[in-house]
Every structure is written in structure tokens, then in C-alpha cells.
Structure 1
């Protein structure tokens, strides 16, 4: 299990948190929240537990040291929940949404190709302003 949570940290969670600007532990009691929406086989993995949980690692080498994690089953469920939250709590600043598309996933048994991943990210980015979310998309690899 230790190698799994370290792999999740190195490959998925740390790059996402770094892209969102969550590189350190919060200095106050206001923790940033990250909604993880993972699909297929990835949905069985504990993204919230990802990290290097050793005495030799720094105190910010885990997801739990940087953010409060929440899971959503789909973007539709997140949109529905966010719309109700927005109506109840009208905040002046938008939150951020990190949108990552993987057109090709190595070692996936079905060939690992997701030809519409980039189109889906573009569609979600267009929806973000209506949800008071600022879309953040890392540079795309070709």
C-alpha cells in the first residue's frame, strides 16, 4: 500500500495540487478544498491518502497536509451541488477548478486512448464561470 500512495502522490496528486498553487500546508484554520472526480479504475484509489508518509519526508508531502479532500461521483453531481451552495453562500471570489485531460493513459488494458478528453475539458472550462469557478488547465502534452 505504501508504494501505491507514493505513486498516486508522484503521478497524480502532487502535480494537481502544485498546479492549483497548494504547495504548502495552510497557515491558518482555513483549508483549501479539492474535489476529486475520478473515473473507471482510478475511482477505487485513495487519492486523499496519497503522499510520502515517512519520518524522512517533509510535512507537506501528502495530500492531507495541503488540502481537505472531497469526492464527487461525476461532474454533473458536482455542478448540482455547487449550484445549491452558490445560492446559499454568495461568496465574492470564485474557487478554482483544475481540469486535466489525458488523451492517452499508458498501460490501460483497453488501449488507453481517450480521443474526446480534450473536448470534454474544453466543455467543462466553458461551464466553470457559471459555477463561479476559475478553470485552470496545465499545458497540454502532445
Structure 2
């Protein structure tokens, strides 16, 4: 029996392929591997993501996250956090193009997701009215 190295180059290559398929929208047609954290409001979903990623979540500021957050964890020699918005499929081409320009790089030593979440809410045109968006905030965390 062979021992499988979880972070081998083959596994990283496979994860790259899965991520590329996901970025092309194939999840509408086939199921790709993922873990989903869901539950009622204030049940600890953001705390679970914080425990997995080590990034502090905006829940401490009593902010309600009104959109899905996709957390991507990747091994890389250079640590970093890249954040973007993935527009929902029914957005107009203009809205999709505008949301696709939402990109942040967060300092991994002092990550502040509160300002990013607020920026994402503005980009998604979420007002103070309690509505939810079908857009996705993608957080890609890289490091050794």
C-alpha cells in the first residue's frame, strides 16, 4: 500500500484543474468537490470559516453577511489573501463586468475583512435593507 502525500504536486495540479472548472461555471452542470457551511443566522458559520482559515471575520462588528463566501485554501510559497466577487449568473453583462473588477489583496499579517465585506456590499448594491445577494465573495488564502 502506498502512502499518499496530501500536498503533492499532483494534488496541487488537480486542485488547479478543479478551480479552473469552477471558474468556468461548470458547477451548474456537474458537482465538484466542496465543503459547505450553512445554518440559521448567528449560528457560527463565520466562526467556522474563521477557525479553518485563521482570518478574522466581520461578525465581531455585528455585521450580517448577506452573501455566500467561497473560501479557497491553497498551498503556496508566497502567503497572501486575494478577494474578489463572482457575479451571479443572472446579472446583466454590465453588472457582471463591474463586479468582476472588485479585487482586494489583504495583508496576511493584519487581515481586516470588515472593510472588504463592506466594500463587497457596496459593489453588490446591497443597502441597509436586509436583502441577500446571490453573488459570491471569493476569498483565496495562500501560504506554506
TMscore range, shorter length: under 0.3
Higher relative contact order (CA 8 A, sep 6+): 2
TM-score under structure 2 length normalisation: 0.24
Report which of the two has the higher share of helix: 1
TM-score under structure 1 length normalisation: 0.24
